Amino acid sequence: MIDETVLLESRTLRTSVLERTHVLDKVKTLSLLPDGLHVTTAMVAAYYEVGIKAIRSLVLDHREELETSGYRVLTGTELSSFKELSYIQSQAPSLAVFPRRAILNVGMLLRDSEVARQVRTYLLDAEYEVRTRPVDNLVHRAGWDELDERVDGRITDVLGKTVVPMLNALIETSGEQSRELLSLREDVQQIQIKLIEHDIQLSRLQRGQDVKALTGVIGTIDAMNWREFEEHVAQLLRRDGCTNVELHGGHGGDRGVDISARTADGRTVAVQCKNFAPFRHVLSGEMQKFLGASKVIHEADVALYVATCAFTRESLALAAQGGVTAVHRGLLEAWSAGVKLQVLRSS
């Protein structure tokens, strides 16, 4: 096993594991700003249980590397927009923010922190597991993937529709051989499971859903900033026949609504857009605010809360009670891929 201190010395190694930000949550709870994506310098210091000066000194020594990981200093209009989004009251002319990758990068550079040491240990444990995991040659064999998928599908179909039912019938009528037949059926079912898992792996490879890179519809959405995300949702509304589609410029937009529109049959539409991190949830308080804005202030016929993450059970209950359509991550992906939202269909 590699000693965790090597991360302190090797930028190449640090870069190779930057995507494993889930390690942060394994060590201790990481509190994020309300945008669900960033933390301040003080929050980084609190996470690693060191002084703010230690983080500022580290940034001074490794600024270029940390900027590559997403560290930024906000000023001007960008800072104003960010303050509005994150409910920050500071009057300072600039604000340093760290996304999860940069927070992890800090942990790989910070020497005098027990939390950082634990982060490095977890990272190298995960790296060791990946490097020593056996490779499934059937999955990676060039030129055979499509053939394997067809064969797997046919075998799975035969096992499920013919072999297992036949074994069930034999078990019911057998006497002494029932134990052997039960064991055989269990073996067959295990083969089915393996074939299904293999099929899933092949499908992921064909769709390019590799853990090293986000691709496809939802990956494209995850890469958008909030302005791009709102424009994306506006385009989906136009695609599905909505008219008078208007973006109101920023989070909160026009009194709590980011986009307004009309359906093809004339109903008014109010939309809230949140491009939160995938691991976040829309909370009940956030849903309550939009409920008041869309239904009370705007008196919208159709209210859409579109988010790149999931919703809590409480927020979904509020949405159902108030007539808000909660467009969660999975539904957003389907909508973006061409499926029309039921609520937008002409009545």
Closest CA to 24 of 5, 2, 47: 47
Cβ within 8 Å of residue 48, ≥6 positions away: 54, 55, 106, 107, 110, 113, 115, 116
Rounded to whole angstroms, how far apart are CA atoms 2 and 219?
32
Tokens representing 229 are: 């995300």
Which 3 state secondary structure label does DSSP give 6? helix
Question: Is the per-residue pLDDT at 129 higher than 70?
Answer: no
User: Where do the domains of the chain lie?
Assistant: 6-132, 137-206, 219-344
Closest CA to 149 of 209, 215, 196: 196
Q: Tell me which CATH code domain 219-344 carries.
A: 3.40.1350.10
Determine the pLDDT at residue 206.
47
- The pLDDT tens digits for 194-218 are 655 555 555 545 444 433 333 467 7
Assessment of whether the complete model's pTM goes beyond 0.85: no
Question: Looking at beta carbons, which pairs linking 26-34 to residues 24 or more positions away fall under 8 Å?
Answer: 26/122, 27/115, 27/118, 27/119, 27/122, 28/115, 30/100, 30/103, 32/277, 32/280, 33/86, 33/88, 33/97, 34/85, 34/86, 34/87
CA distances from 171 to 166, 176, 178 (A): 9, 10, 5
Determine the pLDDT at residue 107.
93
Q: What is the dihedral of CA 193, 198, 200, 206, to 10 degrees?
A: -170
Determine the pLDDT at residue 187.
66
Specify the residue for token string 């020497």: 111
- The pLDDT tens digits for 18-30 are 888 888 888 888 8
- How confident is residue 56, by pLDDT bands cut at 50, 70 and 90? very high
Q: Which residue has the higher pLDDT, 176 or 25?
A: 25
Determine the pLDDT at residue 141.
42
Least confident interval from 239-243, 257-261, 284-288 = 284-288
Determine what percent of the chain is predicted with pLDDT higher than 90.
32
- Rounded to the nearest integer, the mean pLDDT of the chain is 77
